[in-house]
Amino acid sequence: MIRVKLLTGKTVMSKRCAAVLGIALFGLAQGTAAQGPWEIGNHSHVTASLDGGTLTISGTGVMKHYNSHSGAPWVSDSTVRNTITSVVIESGVTSIGNRVFYGLGALTSVTMPESIDSIGYEAFYACSSLTSVTIGNGVTSIGMRAFMDCKNLTSVTIPYGLTSIGDAAFSNCYKLTDINLPNSVTSIGTYAFSDCRAMTSITIPESVTFIQPAIFYGCSSLTSITIPNSVTAIGPVVFSNNNSLTSITIPSSVDSIGDMIFNGCSNLTSIISLNPVPPLLYAYHGGYYFNGVDKAACTLYVPNGSVDAYRAADEWGQFVYIKSAFTVTFLDSQEGSVVSSQIVGEGNRVTKPADLGLLDGYTFGWHRTAPCNNGYVLPCAQDNPLWDFDTDIVTSDITLFAKWTQSVSVLTSPLTRANSSLPAVSVRGRTLSVKLPSSLQSATLQIRVVDMRGRTVSNFNTVNGTDNSFSLTKIPAGRYIVEVRNTGKRMSSTPVMLR
């Protein structure tokens, strides 16, 4: 309080001082007093101002970097720091400085323009009220510990174009569930997602060649990990203490693995290693490569013909059960392999993929042998057993073929004495011919060409007369069904092959 001491010994406050102080106190009480602007550019004109809980960064160029000894103006003053609920960075600003928003515990939203190309280290460290963030489309790098200890962060959107994620960038983000890493990412730092305890699945981008140490250390809810064939080496402690992990596939491209990689993964029951040569195990922490894995309960699956090599290899050979792994391929006559293949351990069941489509009047299934020459939809003498995903087990590499089987009674062409009242459908080359019986020569029929997944690829209408011809030159080669309908009611269904 500002006081003036008189000669009498009494103290009073001047009216002017009282007025100024009253306004200031009112502003603080309301939490809406505008503050700034502060100059925060690094040899550039970038300013920040605070108004009503919103911190606005504007100007052109890069932000200044701060450190533990010299913080940003609003970070150093706890009275100001705790009033900031949103950050708006305007277009023109090209970077987010080190520790610039460090410890803003009330921060709930961040707006980031495309002009931002980098996020500095500890930029949003311990912003504990932040629940989601969308990284600007221009950002190519996220600094180390940039979002560390954002303990309520559940969602992060990362743009294509980001190339590097720094050490511990998202460490201790306890509520972060899943994150989509684009294929532009080439480098993920150590401990980048460690202790993300709510994360359930992760797919390593195909642009990554080395998985750095301890990236997913302590991700205790992680159940699904996809490692691409681009990865050649996996560092130590990568999946340590992931006690929800039950299985993992290591691609054939991996030739070296660090120690303690599965330390504490006590629920692992299946490891699939697809390199025919056992990957080299190298020690950073004195070995203990599969420490904590129950080698009697966890089965090691390896390429067919490589069982003996793994059994003779140090550490790998400690697994009690080492079996062959096989490839299950799915083929669709229309489009080739449209379903991803699966690697399945010997004696295990195949995971049923989604049906390719339900063609009206047909049931769909995956079969063990190729379809008969007369198509995927007509019966034939050749044995073509349906694969039972509930009971059938894998004992070798197999290919499963898509097949649609007619499930309802639908009359089929061609025109015969038995069905002379139906249109006769035939295909020669790329010309579809529909011959109408006398009873239908005055009718307009609807012709629909559908693929084996039930998708319409062409529509025609007949005209009066006995013969109608339609060109199919724009339709890709493959097997199709030609449906003939009269006022919407299906009259016939004919399988055809276009070559």
- Tens-digit pLDDT string for the chain (499 aa): 444 343 344 444 444 444 433 434 334 434 445 687 999 998 879 999 999 899 999 999 999 999 988 899 998 787 888 999 999 999 999 999 999 999 999 999 999 999 999 999 999 999 999 999 999 999 999 999 999 999 999 999 999 999 999 999 999 999 999 899 999 999 999 999 999 999 999 999 999 999 999 999 999 999 999 999 999 999 999 999 999 999 999 999 999 999 889 988 999 999 999 999 999 998 776 667 888 899 999 999 999 999 999 999 989 999 999 999 999 999 876 556 678 899 999 999 999 988 776 666 667 888 887 655 444 444 444 556 889 999 999 999 999 988 777 654 444 444 333 456 778 888 888 888 888 888 888 888 888 888 877 788 888 888 776 678 888 888 888 778 888 888 878 888 887 878 7
Amino acid 377 reads V
What's the pLDDT at 371? Answer: 55
Q: How far apart are CA 250 and CA 142, in angstroms?
A: 27
* Distance set, CA 266 to CA 224, 235, 246, 320 (Å): 15, 19, 8, 16
Tallying the residues shown for the chain, one arrives at 499
Q: Is residue 268 part of a domain?
A: no
Question: Would you list the DSSP string of 147-197?
Answer: TTT-TT--EEE--BTB-EE-TTTTTT-TT-------TT--EE-TTTTTT-T
> Does residue 392 lie in a domain region?
yes
Strand segments (E) across 314-391: 322-332, 336-345, 362-367
SS3 category, 380:
coil
- What pLDDT, on a 0 to 100 scale, did the predictor assign at position 383? 53
**With a threshold of 0.85, does the pTM exceed it?**
no
Q: What CA–CA distance (Å, rounded) separates 425 from 265?
A: 62
Number of domain units in the chain: 3
Q: Domain with 351 in it: what CATH number?
A: 2.60.40.4270
Structure tokens at 437: 């019986």
The answer to whether residue 277 is domain-embedded is: no
Q: Are 355 and 395 within one domain?
A: yes
Q: How confident is the model at residue 468, as a pLDDT?
A: 85
In a domain, 85, yes or no: no
Residue 292 lies in a domain: no
Dist. CA 122–CA 140, nearest whole Å: 16
Same-domain status, 381 and 444: no
Enumerate residues 6+ apart whose C-beta is below 8 A from 26.
none
Domain that holds residue 386: 326-406
Q: Of 314, 309, 321, give the one whose Cα is nearest residue 271.
A: 321
Sheet holding 489-498, edge to edge: 456-461, 446-451, 478-486, 489-498
Whether residues 390 and 431 fall in one domain? no
The β-bridge partners of 343 are 327
